Amino acid sequence: MSRISSHRLFTIALPLALLAGSVGAAESQRLTFVACPVFQDTNTVPCWLAEYQGETYFLGIQTDSGGWTPPLQGHQVLVESVVTAQPRVCGGIVLASAGSVFDKRPSGKSAGVDLPQPPVISTMRELDSSCRTMLPENPRYNTLEPRRGPGPGNAQIAGLQPNAGAPRAAAEPLKPPFAAKTFELHYEFDSELAGLTINKLQEALKYADDIKAKAVEVVSHRASVKLSNGKQLDEIPKIAELRAKELANVIRMFGLPKGTELKVRFVADAQVGNGIDDWTRRRSDIIVTP
């Protein structure tokens, strides 16, 4: 058997290694940009797209209230995403979330393939009259199978709940010593409303009530996003203050446990984004102290 020289092995292996590396990089490519959202009609539910640097990207489909929140026309949108290798949907390269607290239940399928978690989307504050593109239905894009919302079961139709008579096991009460605990709420870019993570506030107030907390402290932050073009996009200077005040008002509305002090502060300096997990920096911390 003839022997292959080490030099020849190297010249064969190097291009293969480079090819494998380029494929891996493409599959994990992160993409963060600002663009106008594009509404694409279909025979089922609308597609939402965006165009960036001459390419069309698929953001998600319009679904029920428990699903992904679509962009608003008349505004640009910030897209924080990972490029997938899935087949194009509505003519666009499919983008997904890099794994975040904004993830929702899968929204459906396209041509029998499950759609991924949509990217993190933030509607920009400023009006932009150029962002009103609505494309008519195109038979090529009639491949969507949106998920169905929860429907009533027989027991619900009859006015009964499943296992209505079955007793529920009581939650075991917390026992001292209690520890300070932090609950994080995350935001869309430039927004003071933590609608998608408000459940963390409810968890914080329940914990405060369970341990008869001395204090609940709100600390809100501001951040920037590193775009794929290398630029840093800063949130408005007052956003940390707005988040702190809004969250404090909601806490007062929900009601603090008796004897618990509410403290509120904010950090005005923007935490610098890295283009990977910038959404984690747009947050408010609720610190519950026993």
DSSP states along 159-220 = T--TTTTSPPPPPPPP-SSP--EEEEEE--TT----GGGTHHHHHHHHHHHHHT-SEEEEEE
CATH of domain 181-289: 3.30.1330.60
pTM of the model: 0.80
The answer to whether 166 touches 260, Cβ cutoff 8 Å, is: no
Question: What is the C-alpha to C-alpha distance for residues 290 and 282, in angstroms, rounded to an integer?
Answer: 26
Handedness of CA 150, 153, 158, 160 (dihedral sign): negative
Residue 15 pLDDT > 50: no
Domain boundaries, the chain: 26-146, 181-289
Residue 51 pLDDT > 50: yes
Q: Which of 148, 113, 134, 150 is nearest to 46 (CA)?
A: 134
The answer to whether 107 touches 147, Cβ cutoff 8 Å, is: yes
The three-state secondary structure class of 49 is strand
Over residues 153-210, the pLDDT tens digits come to 433 433 434 444 455 556 677 778 889 999 999 999 999 998 778 889 999 999 999 9
What pLDDT does 176 receive?
Answer: 81
Per-residue b or e along 9-34, where b marks 16 or more CB atoms closer than 10 Å to that residue's CB: eeeeeeeeeeeeeeeeeeeeebbbbb
Residue type at position 278: D
* pLDDT-wise least confident of 52-56, 60-64, 105-109, 191-195: 105-109
Over residues 123-146, the pLDDT tens digits come to 999 999 999 999 999 999 999 999
What pLDDT does 26 receive?
Answer: 41
